[in-house]
Amino acid sequence: MYEGSHAEEKGTTRVYAAVMSHRWPDAIVDTPLANSAFDYATFYTQELEAKKQNKSYRYFNSINRLAQEFPKAHTDSTDRRVTVWCSNDYLGMSNNLEVLEKMQSTLKTYGSGAGGTRNISGHNKHAESIEGTLAKLHHKEAALVFTSCYVANDATLSTLGSRLPNCVIFSDSLNHASMIEGIRHSKAKKIIFDHNDMADLELKLAAFPRNTPKIIAFESVYSMSGTIGKIAEICDLAKKYGAITFLDEVHAVGMYGPTGAGIAEHLDYEAQASGHYRGTVMDRVDVISGTLGKAYGCVGGYIAGKASLVDYIRSLAPGFIFTTTLPPAVLAGAERAVQYQRQTTTDRKMQQINTRSVKTGLTNLDIPVLHNPSHIIPVLVGDADAAKKASDLLLSKWNIYVQAINFPTVPVGEERLRITPTPRHSKEMQDYLLMAMDDVWGELGLKRTSDWLLSHGLGGENPRIEKLVASLTTEVEPLWTNEKLDLPARESRPVQRASSSG
């Protein structure tokens, strides 16, 4: 969800309600019987109908991922296999044998649940142990585990924002819902800066005295665009204007850096690999949040930072204090996954190689890939109905599962498919995906890159779409460079495109 989505969603609902003959709020005001109860059911139905009309209604598919057949799943029929191309289990760690064995043995010894909150009966050696491992991963003094990173972000930002006196929070316009909600819950003053726009951020920071507490909240990998946050530059600005930095590395942990600590680690790859941490980008970030539910294949979230800050959140954040701890088996399995990925770069390198080859294949088919330096492959569709139809057709005709990404996760007009290869999507699977995408683009008459270029770029009205269209043909150096992937040096060349095949 991007920062404009709350306002836009409310706006569209309001507009739709007006179209629906002003049923709300007139019906509320003009209730014929003053003491008749509110019509809850009609309210829900109408709100849902409005979501269907504005294309933000969410449809779920039954996808049951099979540990023994990764990346395959069965649908609502156990006999029907589909290949999953949009999971955030980026490295297949959900079925890693070491993780599974650790989980099974812990489950047998310690049972299924933690038995309560950390304060009551859920504080256990598994929680302490993984927090130690996560602190080490990010080279921070301490870490704290939450039931998810949604909760970690919400709890941390809402606690800091509500307790730091007169705090102002600066939020990147593409920030995830968990941060948006955390900031909202804090009731602190919120200033949105344009995505990755350092001049805009600086202008906004400079408007406040240096001694006003400030938090800059941003991500390292923006999951729907694959763009990368300007971590070093934001740390510079934070220092200059007396702010602290809150960096969400959810889509980067396990995936970047010599030990999988994320983009902040990756930016000083050699220094980090040789054990020189002081003064690195990761060292300069105040709070890092991460998930155990994506590249680490389990569930849970965390923050890492200075011991005093972590203790403060532990002591004051309701989202940490008043909820049952993650089960011991999950904590133990997740810790094993973190340790596993600290010791090998093989999976994340293979994931990057597969990402590259799918990006190149789609680009050569003139299918509109939004180019970026990360492992995410956003394919622009630009229309909610069409994106859903493309996803449905991939599933029904080709047994390929790629979920459509629609409003409010992305703005209206920027709807897309989001493809995430893993190390185990074979060459055959990739070729099959490319054939299917080409077919679906043809059958539905979806716009190819050359079509987007024809209809845009002439000073169109929507600068956001213009920017997206520009990224269809802009060559971007991947964060995992050829050198880091042990490949021959990369030739500099424009992104290749075939002519439109409609």
**Residues carrying an active site annotation:** 294
Residue-wise over 208-244: b if at least 16 C-beta within 10 A, else e? beeebbbbbbbbbbbbbbbbbbbbeebbebbeebebb
> Minimum CB separation from ligand PLP for residue 148, in Å?
3
Q: Give, in order, the Cα–Cα distances in Å from 297 to each of 95, 141, 351.
A: 8, 25, 15
Q: Which of 86, 99, 228, 250 binds ligand PLP (CB under 6 A)?
A: 250
> Minimum CB separation from ligand PLP for residue 146, in Å?
8
3-class DSSP state for residue 413?
coil
The answer to whether residue 89 forms part of the interface with ligand PLP (CB under 6 A) is: no
3-class DSSP state for residue 382?
coil
The smaller minimum CB distance to ligand PLP, of residues 153 and 471, is found at 153
State the number of binding residues for ligand PLP (CB under 6 A).
Answer: 14
The smaller minimum CB distance to ligand PLP, of residues 17 and 287, is found at 287
The smaller minimum CB distance to ligand PLP, of residues 293 and 361, is found at 293
Q: Which of 135, 149, 205, 468 binds ligand PLP (CB under 6 A)?
A: 149
What tokens does 135 get? 């602190």
Q: How far is CA 5 from the centre of its chain?
A: 16
The smaller minimum CB distance to ligand PLP, of residues 260 and 361, is found at 260
| Residues sharing a CB contact under 8 Å with residue 343, sequence separation 6 or more, in sequence order | 259
Per the CB < 8 A criterion, the answer to whether 216 and 246 are in contact is: yes
Find where tokens 């569930």 sit: 299
The answer to whether residue 218 forms part of the interface with ligand PLP (CB under 6 A) is: no
Q: Give CA–CA dist 99/279, Å, rounded.
A: 33
Interstrand relation of 404-405 and 416-419 (parallel, antiparallel or unpaired): antiparallel
> Minimum CB separation from ligand PLP for residue 169, in Å?
16
The smaller minimum CB distance to ligand PLP, of residues 171 and 291, is found at 291
Q: Which of 92, 301, 378, 423 binds ligand PLP (CB under 6 A)?
A: 301
Per the CB < 8 A criterion, the answer to whether 220 and 373 are in contact is: no
Per the CB < 8 A criterion, the answer to whether 339 and 137 are in contact is: no
- Among 27-35, 44-52, 149-157, 231-239, the segment contacting ligand PLP (CB under 6 A): 149-157
Q: Which of 139, 176, 356, 448 binds ligand PLP (CB under 6 A)?
A: 176
> Minimum CB separation from ligand PLP for residue 19, in Å?
33
The smaller minimum CB distance to ligand PLP, of residues 219 and 415, is found at 219
Whether a cis peptide bond, with omega within 30° of 0, leads into 368 is: no
> Minimum CB separation from ligand PLP for residue 139, in Å?
21
- Among 205-213, 244-252, 371-379, 463-471, the segment contacting ligand PLP (CB under 6 A): 244-252
List of residues contacting ligand PLP (CB under 6 A):
148-150, 153, 176, 178, 219, 223, 248, 250-251, 291, 293, 301
